[in-house]
Structure 1
Amino acid sequence: YNILFHTDAAQAVGKIPTRVDELGVDLLSVAGHKLYAPKGIGALYIRRGTPIESLVHGAGHEGGRRAGTENILLAVGLGMACDLASENLKNAKTKELRDYFWDELKRYFKEGIALNGHPEERLPNTLSVSFIGKVGQDILESIPELAASTGSACHSGMVQISSVLKAMKVEERVGKGTIRFSLGRYTTKEEIDEVVRLLKERV
């Protein structure tokens, strides 16, 4: 239908193979800090021949698309981070830790916890779970030493689940208790065990 296809691959690049020809995309955006590049650098893949209006006019930088001197140091940092990430793609350590984390949570919370998303076809570093009958924000506030994100937002005292969870047909009472945990390249089993311990104590 001659419609341009853009995908935000910020969460995917560096975790799973992300090949523009296999994906069939015309545009693909990358966020550097998501794969250990310096903060403040990103990239936009533009398939040859895709019409793009200039973002900032006035000079010929970046193919005439954005006037202003490029930050070469950050760009090199992004390139190096991509090289390192490609070497780590076959390393299953993060996925194994994520699965261990889920197994430990399921073993303790049993029917009081639910997995969001496909059991296999999901990012190897991300675990989205719902503590049924709880509120994700309340859980995180009770564990200030833990950095994670919820699947809901509080507006004027009302907790609402995200549009993504709604599209996944997650029930309101389940979705309100959603927390997304993200593991990193340097996450250890000891850290996972500590998070499980804190959740057991405070949920």
Structure 2
Amino acid sequence: MRLNRTLLSVALVVVALVIQVSVLARLHLPGAVPDLVLLTVLALALVYGHVGGALVGFGAGLLSDLAPPADHAAGRYALVLCVVGYLAGLARPENGRLKSATGPMAVVAVAAIGSTLLYAGVGALVGDTAARHVGLTGLLVSATVYDLLLAPFVVPGLMALARRADNDPLAETGSGVKAADVSAGWLSSGTGLRIGGQRGGLKARAAKARVARAGRIKGVKRL
């Protein structure tokens, strides 16, 4: 990932994690907790693509695993968000811009269900049966509803911010100036299209020399 993407992703994930732990986790809502970190990963994955989404998801999940009050094995949520970020990045449009809210909302719903199931599945493999005691169906429904309600206030703004940071006009201007310098140097160094002009000039001068030489020879013969 480029430097501006990395810095923006780290800043957004840290802010989302702080709000998640200090505010959303203390609301004591029935069922699951609104997952602001998941929505941040989804928003960035829809702009950066599957590779960037996987990297952001792994970093965000690892921070969530280490942030207190974490009560599960480190790396568990990192694996979940890495997979979710990768799959969400596959839904990224070619131009990076979404024409309607239907696509992102569908991605959020599928990600909320998929991340809950994958988290519960990984927990079952390591012997954590908390999801079974709480009720997996209630977690799925509540997680999907909460994330869908929170998504319109989070995902569009983060996507716009990521696109704006990704399209740096200074970088584009610099690259244009660099290209112009390279093309100017290409021509001034006697290569490229200038070669054709030089060759044409040499051929024209050689032809003139042959005509002049032929004229001098004919003049001698006439004498």
TM-score tier after normalising by the smaller chain length: under 0.3
TM-score with structure 2 length normalisation?
0.20
Compute the TM-score of the two structures, normalised by the length of structure 1: 0.21
Q: Could you say which structure has the higher helix fraction?
A: 2
Q: Which has more strand, going by share of residues?
A: 1
